[in-house]
Amino acid sequence: MKLYLKPSQHAKQAQFMALTSETWPGMLVQARANYHKQKTLDGPFVVHMFMYAAKEVRQGIRRATSTRIAEAAEAINSYLAERQDVRVGNIARTHWGISHAHQPDDASVTLPESATFRKMQHLDAMSASRHEGDREEGVYCTLT
């Protein structure tokens, strides 16, 4: 946490000055001098100090480069090798790899639960059923 001093009555937040043990006496003298420069004194001398908590530094979303997508694909393949009951088609696997490539380095591989991933699984199922239908038609074609 940091302490800030408001240097004048109408100072904007960007003009607040950070207080340290070294700068405290000088800033207090300056604030008192500014107070005495006023033409009308509205009561006692008051120092307005503000305390702000530092924002938590978070890792941003990473770009999905080809290297990161390849690393994500390897992680997904090992995840699927451990779980034989999970079936993912090519479309859903591609989407999963790209979305996992955006995640921070320490993110664990988990099966996505988004609507987009479910739609990709549906497209994979439709594609698989269409290819099975093509094979059946090929068996029963008429030769003339």
The pLDDT value given to residue 75: 94
10-residue mean pLDDT series, the chain (144 residues): 77 84 86 80 78 72 87 93 90 93 87 92 89 58 53
The pLDDT value given to residue 118: 92
The pLDDT value given to residue 49: 76
The pLDDT value given to residue 123: 92
The pLDDT value given to residue 143: 54
- Entry pTM: 0.52
The pLDDT value given to residue 129: 84
The pLDDT value given to residue 87: 87
Residues 21, 64 contacting (CB under 8 angstroms): no
